Amino acid sequence: MHFRNRHDTLVVICTVAGCAVAMGYGLAFGQGRLTLSLGLISVLPPLTVAWAAARQKSLVVPFVLFAATYGGYNGLLLMRLACLNWSDYPYPIELTNAAIVKSGVLSALGAVGIVLAWLFRTDRGPLRPVDLTPQISGNAFRIGVVLFFATLGLYWLQMHQMGGFVAVMSTERVERFQLMKDTFSIPYIPSICTTVGLLFVGSAGKKLPRRVAWLAFAFWAAVLGLQGDRGVILQVTMVVAAILGTMCPSLCRIRIATLAGAGLLIFVALVFEQVRPFLALAAAGGGDIAVLGEYAGHIDLSRSIQPEKSELGGPYLSVIESASIPRQMLLGKSYLEAIPMFLPRFLYPGRKSPDLSTELAESVSFGDAYVMGWGYSPVAEAYRNFGIGGVPIVLAAWGTLFLWLGRMQSRGLWGLLASSTLLMEAVVVNRIDFRSIYIGTVFNLGVLLIAVGLTKALDAGGKPARWPISNREKQQ
């Protein structure tokens, strides 16, 4: 292997030395220390390559977010498992030594796959800023304004199917997801992301359009916040950060202020997880101060920094459950079955099979206590499909995919918007199954194709159309 820069050399040294020390420590001091060592191996190498990628590219590229959040969803949980009494964990299954160690081995192998994806990457240059013509930027802003009002209509239609905005606000999150399964799904979320992306692309260097773009972002953030959709708010925020960071790379370099802002955003998102039910209770309770006060008294901000009690702990249940129960390998079935799943029910040939997340919820629920929302780790899905050897291969494939998506960020309007609107997938891939990622990507790209097509249609001059739009447009 040929290392072309010091970042690669540092990654190799830190990974090999850290893994060797951690494993030696774990093997020397017994079961609890072995779990802690596997946790360190699962978190430190991904964070190291995330740091190297951020130094070379930017903090808001898909691979950086993918590698960093992998460590959070896997390594942190293992380290906590090694330090706390297992009875303190809110998992609805019995935790055994064998299952914990095996899940740690799987997570460590996934971390190795991510490191290999970084070391064998093909693009080793810095992130290039996007330079679009004034005509393309202006067209993007105009289409963004049109799509903003079209998105309002889509959002109203979706809310109307579910009983209106107030009814949605007063519905608990899991019940809302169940309700959405019984309605015709309208892709208003991809439309919001594309709209905000177009507005920020078209507002570069222009005072009034920039204000319009920020107002549109603030409007949707407020609406989605009242609705309790933390994930969508983060998704739209990442779209803005990716576009600003690509058009002006110095904004998202590794600096104390940038890291502090990212840390604050993560903390607020975790705290919002506890506040979210409060919004539904306020909307449904008719302003009962006593009820609201009682609920507010149960909010514990310290839970937000405890992985096992926050959303970081949910997906890892799938890894432990998969390591605990012997099953026949799926041999890629969960990936292949996802391909036609974007079709609506009336066009789908037959009945749609349940996804792995639903299967997990049914497996760990007893009696009438059916609990959803655990998520599903890519480590567990890789293991269920291809066994222990498939884990590093699948995670390396995910890493390679996000490296490629990051390269798209500098390739004109199409590449910038595609990479930005799909940036959130680099985070949620660590907590949901492949089918959910695939369906979301299909809808995102479908809306984006329409938006870029409309932007191209506004091009004047009568020259032959080239699509997708690239930086070469500047020469026309």
Q: What confidence tens digit (pLDDT) does each residue in 189-213 have?
A: 899 999 999 999 888 777 888 899 9
Measured distance CA(31)–CA(48) in Å, rounded: 26
Structure-model confidence comparison of residues 169 and 284, the more confident one? 169
Give me the chain's average pLDDT, please.
77
- Please state at what angle helix 356-364 crosses helix 316-324, rounded to 10 degrees: 70
Whether 432 has a pLDDT exceeding 80, the answer reads yes
Whether 61 has a pLDDT exceeding 50, the answer reads yes
pLDDT of amino acid 17 = 65
Q: Find the mean pLDDT for residues 91-116.
A: 85
DSSP assignment letter at 467: S
Which residues, in sequence order, are CB contacts of 107 under 8 Å at separation 6+? 38, 39, 41, 42, 74, 75, 78, 319, 379
Which pair of structure tokens corresponds to residue 356? Answer: 């792995």
Torsion angle of C-alpha atoms 32, 38, 39, 40, degrees rounded to 10 = 110
Measured distance CA(459)–CA(244) in Å, rounded: 24
Which pair of structure tokens corresponds to residue 352? Answer: 């749609």
Structure-model confidence comparison of residues 196 and 57, the more confident one? 196
Whether 239 has a pLDDT exceeding 70, the answer reads yes
Instruction: State the pLDDT confidence band at 21, using cuts at 50, 70 and 90.
Output: low
Q: CA quadruple 208, 210, 214, 219: dihedral positive or negative?
A: positive
Report pLDDT digits (tens) over 297-316. 556 666 656 666 667 777 88
Report pLDDT digits (tens) over 125-159. 767 767 777 888 888 898 999 999 999 998 888 88
By the 10 Å C-beta count (0-12 exposed, 13-18 middle, 19+ buried), 214 is classed as middle
Instruction: State the pLDDT confidence band at 288, using cuts at 50, 70 and 90.
Output: low
Which pair of structure tokens corresponds to residue 238? Answer: 């990442």
User: DSSP strand E in 165-322: where?
Assistant: none
Instruction: State the pLDDT confidence band at 462, using cuts at 50, 70 and 90.
Output: very low
DSSP characters for 176-216?
Answer: HHHHHHTS----HHHHHHHHHHHHHHHTTT-HHHHHHHHHH
Least confident of 52-66, 108-122, 306-320: 306-320
